[in-house]
Structure formats: structure tokens, C-alpha cells
Amino acid sequence: MAKPIILAVDDEPHVLNAVARDLQERYRGDYRIVKALSGQEALEAVQEFKRRGTAVALFVVDQRMPGMSGIELLAEAIVLYPEAKRVLLTAYADTNAAIASINEVALDYYLMKPWDPPEEQLYPVLDDLLDAWAAHVPVPYDGIRVAGTLWSPRSHQVKEFLARGQIPYQWLDIEKDDEARTLVEASTEGRSVLPVLFFPDGTLLEDPDMHVLADKVGLRAPALKPFYDLIVIGAGPAGLAAAVYGASEGLKTAVVEREVPGGQAGTSARIENYLGFPQGIGGADLARRAATQARRLGAELLVAQEVTGVRVDGPYRIVTLDDGSELRCHALLLATGVALRTLDAPGLERLLGASVYYGAATSEAANYQDRDVLVIGGANSAGQGALFLSRYARSVTILVRKDSLRHSMSQYLIDQIERTENITVSPSTEIAAVTGEHSLETVTLVDRASETSTTVRADAIFIFVGAMARSDLVRDLVEVDDAGFVLTGQDLLAGGRRPRGWRLRRDPLLMESSVPGIFAAGDVRHDVVRRVASAVGQGSVAVTAIHRYLDTV
């Protein structure tokens, strides 16, 4: 943590040096002493401290300076640092101005120049002020800060990206925090660009592209090799399991992930039925552990890099990345998972990312403290999301199309939901429409049993409905079912025929697609159990089949 700042300002160099000398003598062990020769120079320094998240404990400012007086400087500086203590250096002729500034800028003290000896005239005053500051000002946050508005979809995307990547950050809502708004205005010179990210090194990003942000926080790195034994597309549970087993068994393995590791499971607030974690584990935490394990065993994780194309060239499978580069491998594993199906109710799309969210949106839950939220869906992800939201929201209502949760949700989640006082389940219910200009206001619900509708007020909607296969990359290359899920192994032999274009004498291996050497695991496969443990098992078993394939290459 950087030392708090004591800022000394005087336009006369010899006076400024004397002030700084006395401050250094007494306070250099606990504070950083900074000098400025003018009010404008001091104000620029204060703005830079704020961008860096550095605390300012004390201003020691001369009153009579050209261009900007001490009182004028303090009036602007305390907008950014309202808790900092303020001392004005004056001559006899400035006494009236100093007294007037006690009310104008809440001046803590004014000192006559000269103040010798400092042991009697300076240090006792400053000691008291600094002790008071240290006792009442919290330790400043020394990390990434994200400034934006709750109703900004782009702010939500940035927060969700950082949260899923387990990158710590502090949220600054400029609609609620005047200090944060002033910081943004000063740093962006009035440009209306949100969100703004402030980094500890003093740099900032305005509404960054996710690739740029990934580079900045150290998530994105180029591939180290042009060729691999195995490339895995997708870093959900299946992809990470394949990376762990592939790397541990000596395969040169790379995993390409378009966002951050974890997949849909990574958005789960808590997974309580995964073997080996009796207290449950957060999806992001499970993903972090698995990614660390894969890297330790030698796998490369190419994060925030999207595969834009897949093709076959003889014995090689080639993937094209979004930066135009290409990677080659002998075996390719599709672990791209699924995307949540979107709802088509009028008004929803306009509020997406601004009180309407697909998935758990754990980064937003705390913003709905003591508010009323709706959860749409009846599977495990909806139950986990509802339980997490219930820690913050005044009420959580689960809307499910079927007559109960028992058709698709695990019993342990149902039991917890029934024990949670602020969660209500509304069966046989669908959303018909929503209203709200900048954020959600009302929701029209339809009872499927009675075909009656009601309108209720709500502050946010979290949607967990259905799943669509993320197989667009390969739908023209491998065989898929009518819903787009990849057919593998025995599913390709239905009706006693082999896949179209299959030239090998052998049948497709377990989890092998209709193109030899391209495999699939996890939720993107046809007719699988969509659970974390199932995906991990498939990713692990797929490596065994890939070894068999590599033995023939």
C-alpha cells in the first residue's frame, strides 16, 4: 500500500523547501511528502493521486500565490479529497482571508510564517490533525476501480468479466458518489464515456474492448507454440478437465477460451453437489483451481481469445483466432458448451445489462440490496442464482413454466429454497412484457393454468432458460442434431450407417465427431447429462479416446 500524501504548496522555492524539509524530518516514515510550486501544479498532482487511488492526508498550502490562491486551490482539491486535513500558510496581511476560509473550505488550521521552531509551532498542530485523519479515514483501496452507472450495459459487461476472471475491483457508481463523478469528469475531460477503469499505476481505460482489458489485467497472452498435440476450444469444466488430463499425460495442450475460464458453471454462485466439496464451491473458484492445475501441469490457456474458424488440412486440424493467427494440432476437442436461450418478451432487450441479466450476474447482486427481483427458470442454475440473490434482495420470486421445480431442479436446492423465507416460487408462470425506460419498473406475468395476467413491480430480472449449443464454428464441418448439438461416437452410427464422408475402416471413437480427430465433450454434445460432474468426466474420458486417435496419426 502506497504511503498517504502530505502535499506542500508554495510559489517561493526557498519557503517550499523549508516546509518540505520540516515535514520530511518528522513524517517521512509514515507519509510521502510531495511539493508543488503553484496551485495549478498542485491541482494536477491531486488529480493524478486520485486516478492512482493514493490517499492524501494533509494539504499545507500558502495563501498568497499568483494564478490560484491557497483558498481557491483547497476549494477544488477537497472535492476529490473531502476527508483530507487543510492547513493554510499565511502572513499577517492574510489573517482575515484565513479566518474567512474556515467556513469557505472548512479550514482546519492556519499558520503564520515563519513557524520556527517547528517542534513548538508546527509539529504539535500537524500531529493532532494527522492522528484525527488516520483515525477516521478508511484505508484506501489499492486496486482496479470501475466507475460507471448501475443501468449501463457496458459497465455490467466489464464488471462481469472481471468478476468471472476473479480480478478484484472496486465499483464506483457515479450516480450515487459525487466524488467518483468528479474524478471521472476530471480524468476524461468531460467526455461522456463509461465505464472508466482506473488502475493502480495511474493509467485508465475508457469503455475498453474486452481484449484490451484482458491484456491490461494480464489474462491474455499469445500462444507459445505454432503446433500442439491437442487444442481444446472452451474452458468450461469439460475443457479444463481435458487440459488437466491431456497435459498430465504428456500431450502438448492448449485451451482457447473466448471469455474467462469457467463456462456457464463459472457463473454459478455455489455448486453444492460436486464431489469433494462438502460445503459447496463457487463456480468461479472451481474454474480458478482447475485453470491453475492445468497450467501447473503444462497446458497453455489462451484466455479472451476467440476461435473464428476451424478447418482440416490432411492430418492437421487448424484453428484461426480473432487476431488472424492460426494454430495447428493433430487432435481438436470442442468444449464450447451452451449459451442461454433468450426470451422474446416485449421490453426485455432494451434493458439487457441494465436490470435484466442472463445468468447469475453475481457481480450485480449487491446492487439489489433490499429490492425485489425475479428469477426465471426451473433448473439448477436458476436455483443457485435465487439462493445467492436472496442474501441481498428483499424478495426473490422464481417464475417457472411447469407446475413445480421438481421436474428439472435437484432436490437439495428445492429443500434450501423452501427454507429460505424471502424466496417465493410461482409455478406455471411466464413473462409477457416489461416496462421501464432506463431500468426495470413493471413486469406483466401470465398464469398458464388460468390464462390470467397480472402486473407487478420489480427491480431486476435474472434469466436462466434453456440452452443452445455453441456449435456455429463447426456446423458446416461436423454432423449435428436438429438443435445444433454435436453428434459423436455411437450416435453417428444410427440406422447402421457411418457418417457421410467417413473414409476410415474403424468406427468413430467415443466422443469423436464425424470428422476424424475432432472430438466433443460437455454440454455441446448431443444427448448428455448437463451437470458439472458429467462435463468433467467427459473431458477426462475424451483424452483417452484422443490418445487412441493419436496412436494412428
Element (H, E) at 197: strand 196-198
Q: For 349-465, CATH number?
A: 3.50.50.60
CB 228 within 8 A of CB 239: no
529 secondary structure, DSSP code = -
Helix (H, G, I), strand (E, B) or coil at 45: helix
* Whether residue 94 has pLDDT greater than 70: no
Torsions phi, psi for 324 (to 5 deg):
90, -10
Task: Give the CATH number of domain 227-339+468-550; options: 3.90.230.10, 3.40.50.150, 3.50.50.60, 3.40.50.1010.
Answer: 3.50.50.60
The helix-helix angle for 380-389 and 411-419 (nearest 10°) equals 30
Q: Considering the entire predicted model, what is its pTM?
A: 0.78
Q: Report the top-level CATH class of 144-216.
A: alpha beta
**pLDDT score recorded for residue 348:** 93
Which pLDDT band, with edges at 50, 70 and 90, does 482 fall under? very high
**Poorest-confidence range of 365-369, 464-468, 483-487, 526-530?**
464-468
Most confident region among 106-115, 137-146, 189-198, 322-331 by mean pLDDT? 322-331
Average pLDDT over residues 483-491: 95
Q: For 251-289, how does the pLDDT look when each residue is reduced to its tens digit (9 = 90+)?
A: 999 999 999 999 888 888 788 889 998 888 888 899 999
Listing DSSP states for 437-506 in one string gives SSS--EEEEEETTTTEEEEEE-SEEEE---EEE--TTTTTTS-B-TTSPBP-GGGGGGGG-PPTT---SS
166 secondary structure, DSSP code = T
Q: How many CB atoms lie within 10 A of CB 406?
A: 11
Residue of 250 and 500 predicted with greater confidence: 250
CA distance 397 to 460: 11
Q: For 10-38, how does the pLDDT look when each residue is reduced to its tens digit (9 = 90+)?
A: 999 999 999 999 999 999 999 999 999 99
Sign of CA dihedral 93, 99, 103, 105: positive
5-136 shares its CATH topology with 227-339+468-550: no
* Whether residue 98 has pLDDT greater than 70: no
**pLDDT score recorded for residue 307:** 97
CA distance 321 to 211: 12
Q: For 339-398, how does the pLDDT look when each residue is reduced to its tens digit (9 = 90+)?
A: 888 898 999 999 999 999 988 677 888 899 999 999 999 999 899 999 999 999 999 999
Q: For 5-136, CATH number?
A: 3.40.50.2300
Question: Domain residue spans in the chain?
Answer: 5-136, 144-216, 227-339+468-550, 349-465
**pLDDT score recorded for residue 9:** 96
Which pLDDT band, with edges at 50, 70 and 90, does 193 fall under? confident
* Whether residue 45 has pLDDT greater than 80: yes
**pLDDT score recorded for residue 500:** 85
**Poorest-confidence range of 88-97, 220-229, 382-391?**
88-97
* Whether residue 440 has pLDDT greater than 80: yes
**pLDDT score recorded for residue 92:** 66
Q: How many CB atoms lie within 10 A of CB 473?
A: 18
Average pLDDT over residues 175-203: 87
* Whether residue 318 has pLDDT greater than 80: yes
* Whether residue 93 has pLDDT greater than 70: no
